[in-house]
Structure 1
């Protein structure tokens, strides 16, 4: 696998999903169409989950119908939380990746997907099989990968154990997710080099949440750890509505871009389109 090129995953879905006021489908589509022109590897654009759970994403199929993929190399990723969502997502040819949040905290797995870790493992197996039949790839997020606020046991060995289980099942892309922003540079540098070296044939990334003051040091730690796949969202909007914390948003994409530019990484992004998206974001996020 080519681990040399940096893969930036822009996550407007994660940015928008917790917004209280419904963003009109046309506005979502306009925003996503701009982001598709920037040159990100992947756009985490929507989710096929219960509209009761995440009302903001109820129009994902309609948004998808409005996206112009004729002039972009960016691939689309949709989040699913169960088999039904995966079955809905694979029907859409335009989607390349299905993302599933697999929590290594039993409490959060129940809160987030209404199922146990054991049941979620079965869902992952079923999703992998669906992906294979429909020419898609699965991205599994090891959610609560840096600890959890519920008192569930966490250590590096538990993270590595679940990575091993999932990769053995056939997961090719694994993203270590910090759902509540409790990762630290020490934890990032403590666990990721080990995972990257042990599972060298697997694409391993990070989906970090952070307060604005800690973003930069987390990006730096991930880079130092050898990560080549980073999830982020424009201006750091968003976070997880299932783990309420107003302070903890996504890592800001502009911080990631700035840092990687300082390391002379060739990102090949259209910054004019990026600036247009930054301006338009004001209409969505206020």
Structure 2
């Protein structure tokens, strides 16, 4: 079954004007009623790094969730964030950005790749103890703008290191929009064949002209786990100044329907969320 992960956290995190907590919560509550598998709703990271999401814990307490509803995912970047996030029983998934680019790992988490492997081990251990699951993002998975070495073999190597430590969900992430159908067509099915015990997904960034070819390539490669954001907002403020946005959820829904897939979403609630989004994204 295809899993859709809606990412308001990624859409909001780089916005300069602070979004009131009540508005964030109301928007996410609308998204929770649509029927997505998961909502990537917030992060437990340094307020200095991502001031927009400093109220994640407050937003969480205002969300209307139930055991049968869409699951919640929060991003963490270090041990302190992990320890804070696991305190909240409402959260099902903790996401960690593990970059195959040393430069970006330092920029994003203030730690190198090897040190981040230790953080992943702590994350997996605490998730196991707290009845949560870890989602590890292979960020800069298709290349980087820093001149750091990149190859399919490098991505495979780090995926293997994460697998050895017990990672069960890896999301191949196109942090700066440099993926291509050719890269996706090789790398995604290759990783799946190398690590059949792992659930792989994609978190792709794109401009409006190239989203279709990237989603089509990932679909043809067997991907059935997709991150996206309503209206394609967002990007990583820790990556570059010239950002490409997320894949637009409405485009992804249209693509899936063209393939005969029923996303099983409440489109009335989706339209409500679309309309409400104008209060956030202006």
TM-score, scaled relative to structure 2: 0.98
The answer to whether the Cα contact below 8 Å between 2:44 and 2:56 also exists between their aligned partners in 1 is yes
Give 1:174-185 correspondences, 5 Å limit: 174-185=170-181
Deviation by residue 1:121-156 (Cα, 9 ceiling, x = unmatched): 000001100001101000000000000011111000
Map of 1:56-205 to 2, 5 A cutoff? 56-70=52-66, 73-205=69-201
Task: Give the Å deviation of 1:267.
Answer: 1.3
Q: Indicate whether 1:233 and 2:229 are aligned.
A: yes
Report if the CA contact (8 A) 1:39-1:72 is conserved. no
- Structure 1 residue 72 displacement after superposition: 5.3
Q: Is the 8 A contact 2:77 2:97 kept in 1?
A: yes
1:243 is displaced (CA, Å) by: 1.3
Deviations 1:242-273 (A, max 9, x none): 01344400000111100001111121100000
Q: Which consecutive unaligned segments of at least 5 residues does structure 1 have?
A: none
After superposing the two structures, state which structure 1 stretch, 191-200 or 110-119, moved more: 191-200
Structure 2: runs of 5+ lacking an equivalent: none
Runs of 4+ in 1 over 3 A off after TM superposition: none
RMSD over aligned Cα atoms = 0.9
The residue that corresponds to 1:269 in the other structure is 265
Distance 1:72 1:276, change over 3 A: farther
Name the residue aligned to 1:40: 36
Count the aligned residue pairs: 282
Secondary structure class of the residue paired with 2:72 = strand
Partners of 1:126 and 1:225 in 2: CA distance: 32
TM-score (norm 1): 0.97
